[in-house]
Structure 1
Amino acid sequence: MAPPATTINLYRPPSQVDAHLNDYFLNEMTQTMSESASHSLRTSSEAKRAYLERKRLQIGGTELTEDEPGRITVIQKNDLDEAHRLRMDAAGYKVGWSLAERLSRDKPRISKAIPDPLEIMKFICKDIWTAMYNKQVDNLRTNHRGIYVIQDHSYRAFLRVSVPKGYESEMDEMCRKMVIFPSAVIRGALMNLGVQSVVSVEIAIPQCTFQIRTTSTTPNPNTPPANPNPAKPN
């Protein structure tokens, strides 16, 4: 006979969250990742400056002044964008891997031993997209030579983004940062199911178009592999 606590857990209703939580979470995550990247780069710059000052003092020099070349005070935008991209990409890749692992368990047509890229792509367009955005993608096209195009005509996360009038360029930049995450989700899910891919994305708010170039690989059934040099989105 099962203990009372176990019996209660068996009949406990599943936890539920607001349908829009994922959209707002992605918006907040984008900002948090930017702040994390900025803090990391600033800390690295300050550590390098402190090291250079110690070296100069050791050889009998004076402390660096603000206008000397060794003084690092400005974080380059390209470095900040790249640091943000790597963080968003890593998060999306892990989410995609985990979603594919959980949602593909009862899918007889999804075989990791001999992956069928088209069936796997349909699985992403239907099951994974529905799990994330409560809707399927609007269009899937392929040239039957390893290239697929996924279109979402009204990407839900974009609907929660707003900027003051006259700051439309900032909205475009914010959306470009956001789509790094779903691009990595697609790549992580494909890798879990035995398909290696390079994903690029184009946006025309509120539309997203993902282009996926695929090659078959041998998946690791236990843990997500390392994610070296993730592809940069267009």
Structure 2
Amino acid sequence: MADEAAFQFLHNEVIQYIYKSAESGETENGRHIAKLENMGFRVGQGLIERLTKDTARFKDELDIMKFVCKDFWTCVFKKQIDNLRTNHQYLSFSCGLVRGALSSLGVKSIVTAEVSIMPACKFQIMIQKM
């Protein structure tokens, strides 16, 4: 429980810091969103390496996606991926988190998210063939 609270506080503070330092203007805001996504990417890489260090190699991309959706997401957010509650500010970090995890597992991807009805969001993962 303490780990979850610490992560949530850190996550909120990082987002507030980046958005407070942003100046008005779309190009500046885009750079800050990219910074959030890159932070998420690096965190996703590190976490997936720790989670998979004692597991057997995955046989295909479907097994990788199952692991990311079930084990990885539950480890990070303590929730099932289909029941994520978030807002627009958290989506850049979360997209980077998933992209970083997939990258460490050898899957090159583009991860986007959309919010159609609050508080739910949908992630779209496009796997790029190398």
TM-score (norm 1): 0.51
On the 8 A contact 2:41/2:100 being kept in 1, the answer is: yes
On the 8 A contact 2:110/2:128 being kept in 1, the answer is: no
On the 8 A contact 1:93/1:189 being kept in 2, the answer is: yes
Cα deviation, residue 25, structure 1: 2.3
* Aligned positions of 1:176-215 closer than 5 A: 176-203=88-115, 204-215=117-128
Q: Which residues of structure 1 form unaligned runs of 5+?
A: 1-15, 39-74, 139-152, 159-174, 218-234
Q: 1:96 aligns with which of 38, 41, 44?
A: 44
On the 8 A contact 1:100/1:192 being kept in 2, the answer is: yes
* Aligned positions of 1:1-234 closer than 5 A: 17-38=2-23, 75=24, 77-110=25-58, 116-138=60-82, 153-155=83-85, 158=86, 175-203=87-115, 204-217=117-130
Aligned in 2, Cα 1:216/1:99: closer, same or farther, shift over 3 Å? farther
Which structure has the bigger radius of gyration? Answer: 1
Return the letter of the residue paired with 2:125.
I
Q: Which of the pair is proportionally richer in helix?
A: 2
Count of aligned residue pairs for this structure pair: 129
SS at match of 1:185: helix
Q: Which residues of structure 2 form unaligned runs of 5+?
A: none
Aligned-pair identity (%): 36
Cα deviation, residue 34, structure 1: 1.7
On the 8 A contact 1:96/1:186 being kept in 2, the answer is: yes
Cα RMSD over matched residues?
A: 1.9
TM-score (norm 2): 0.87
Write out the 4+ residue segments of structure 1 that deviate beyond 3 Å after TM superposition: none
Cα deviation, residue 154, structure 1: 3.7
CA distance in structure 1 between the partners assigned to 2:38 and 2:122 by the alignment: 21
| Higher RCO (C-alpha under 8 Å, 6+ residues apart) | 2
